[in-house]
Structure 1
């Protein structure tokens, strides 16, 4: 394939923008076209459920890159463009406006969308999702006339929203169908800690009970009815029940998908010259004893790391992704930082005290550090990532002892050459 054939990137969020930037940084000199279906210049998404809702972050602070970046880097940014079809045989995209675009390389960074709530009343006014800037601004606008909020879903987004709404004076109830918060991510002890942390800060929790219906008056939501008959009066509902990957474009083209687009550690899909990165990519992971073989990692860092790995392929110097996955969440004044991927059966070791709101929970597998969850300990989080990358073996009693300097267990990499 001639180098002059363009790279088309479908999706102008973190992963797509990072791929365009990394490709240029690494010397990719062919045309790059970055297509976004939103009207907004690429922006940061994490603040949407935090600073934007509280008013601490202004919209003009969200831009991923400066206003001149795309022009200076020769990146053709096109906003408000929706792709409707992909023809692999001709390497051509079909657009909603009837246009077509040819590509040499194609990167699908189409992200994910919020799961709908399949109950009566989910379409009432006052019921919101939170995925885009427009979504966040709609919630902010609704807050002015709202006093009682119900957040449906006790995952990270739901809890961040609950914390943000509570901090600006709303009375907040979180409804979670599982018997504990963050059940897919945290062990029971951490779930209990998070639940207690929110309750102590005024957030009510309704756990282990699903939603039967939303009720309205004159077209606006006024209550959430639970399956056990309880009724939560509210004038604002925010749904946070997870996301599903926007993989339809790939599926219709015959590209292998399973909970996202299946890719290797360089972002390569089953179709030649078609990459997938970000939330839509179900990526092969570096082999770790007892760990998953692949995963769809919904985090900014995974999007950026995957994009950088894909860029190395574009310039002919492939370096597969092998970074330790990590992500973070802010709830109230608590900063959660998660590194590695825990697995069922891991031994957990607590360093610090839960009641202090400053601690680390380490996860050991076959004697090696494989994951760590920290609260308000950013330096320990950074060190944990290094220990996980090395598969460091540390006795549980030493991990738990705050007087032991964990830096002594980290072996700096040898200089190249």
Structure 2
């Protein structure tokens, strides 16, 4: 049911990412004219995360380009923006929250608290210069460190690690990737496609080491030493990119249902949590997906947008489910990729690659992940006309020859 805009209690959004910024935009553009507030613990208005590891590190634009809206937009659209104001508690029974020592009421509450970088104690306790990449300040510090001739070790060969490696090489940084799995992105892409990403980075001068075991990390003052499979790798600094952890502390403390396996706040397909009047969107939402037939938590840009649109529609009085298939993209060197779908916990039993693959530019190809003859995910590399076809095929049962 749409909130009564004549009531004094606002719709409150907790979070400072793309999901929060998109939600308030959709509400105002959808005609909601009642009170609206955003609380974020960061000093900036809501902003997108992808530019932190893409455009900004590549000097393609300032970090301000990542803002969903400039700060003035919020006042102009009567959105009460509270920056540097962490919410410390929520009380769903009384529709209240506490922030900066003050308690305020809400009519509806949307949790968009996102994720935080997963830390590696071995690195944090080493005394070395360690970088993580999750927030505005992280990107500023990392960009300042990417100087020509410097040496960077990246622990973790996931999307963040590979994108930073690509940016670092563009600045003349010597890069070594240390990945414990058999290939970077192995769990997501499987042997054949993951090996293509490893080859791409090696072709651009990155020392990609897979299946490694890190024995120790220590600072020597001027440099950092990493013990890798009995060998010492000496660098100037480290980037740790070993994933993210959904920030569900507020939800847990308030007694909302949190899924132990995914770590996300459980919601139905409309993004409603177990508490009346409380919604969860973006990274933290482990949402029932009516198309995939299971609950799903996704940490990607497009999901944040789609979740925000769905909740905005529901708050405006429209009965809307989250039906969009998961989607993400990456840019590395001259390779651009878009991926649709999600194999889920059951994974895939077949990978089909069609087209030309190549070391230096990634080639141009499509890849399909299947389970029991059903396409559970699809991806293109440098084939920008393919994405609509991929979307139409994911979820269907196909004859492999037809791919």
TM-score, normalised to structure 1, is 0.89
Which of these residues, 85, 104, 110, is aligned with residue 81 of structure 1? 85
Does the aligned pair in 2 maintain the 1:367–1:395 contact within 8 Å? yes
Report the counterpart of residue 366 of structure 2 in structure 1. Answer: 360
**1:177 aligned partner:** 180
**How many Å apart are 1:46 and its aligned residue?**
0.5
Question: CA shift at 1:44, angstroms?
Answer: 2.2
8 Å contact kept, 2:45–2:70? no
Query: What number of residue pairs does the alignment pair up?
Result: 391
- Taking the TM superposition and a 5 Å limit, the aligned residue runs for 1:3-402 are 3=5, 4=7, 5-95=9-99, 97-119=100-122, 122=125, 124-144=127-147, 147-218=150-221, 221-226=223-228, 228-258=229-259, 259-288=263-292, 293-342=294-343, 344-355=347-358, 357-388=363-394, 391-399=395-403
- 1:314, CA displacement in angstroms? 0.7
Q: For residues 331 and 105 of structure 1, what CA distance do their matches in structure 2 show? A: 40
Deviation at 1:393, TM superposition (A): 4.8
1:255 partner SS: coil
**Distance in 2 separating the partners of 1:186 and 1:146:** 32
Q: Is the 8 A contact 1:121 1:213 kept in 2?
A: no
Q: Which runs of 5+ in 2 are unaligned?
A: none
Q: CA 1:27–1:294 in 2, change beyond 3 Å: closer, same or farther? A: same
CA contact (8 A) 2:14 2:40 kept: yes
Could you tell me how far 1:20 is from its partner in structure 2?
A: 0.9
RMSD over aligned CA atoms reads 1.9
- Segment drifting more, 108-117 vs 119-128: 119-128
* CA drift at 1:396: 2.1
Cα distance change, pair 358–256 in 1 and its aligned pair in 2 (3 A)? same
8 Å CA contact 1:351, 1:361 repeated in 2: yes
Stretches of structure 1 that go unaligned for 5 or more consecutive residues are: 400-417
Provide the C-alpha distance between the structure 2 equivalents of 1:348 and 1:7, rounded to a whole number of angstroms: 45
1:61 Cα offset (Å): 2.1
Using a 3 Å threshold, how does the CA distance of structure 1 residues 24 and 235 change in structure 2: closer, same or farther? same
- Equivalent pair of 2:347/2:371 in contact (CA under 8 Å): no
Rounded to whole Å, the distance in 1 between the matches of 2:185 and 2:27 is 36
Q: Distance in 1 between matches of 2:268 and 2:214?
A: 38
Map Cα deviations across residues 196-247 of structure 1 (whole Å, 9 max, x no partner). 11111111112112323221123x6521122x22211100211100010100
TM-score by length of 2: 0.92
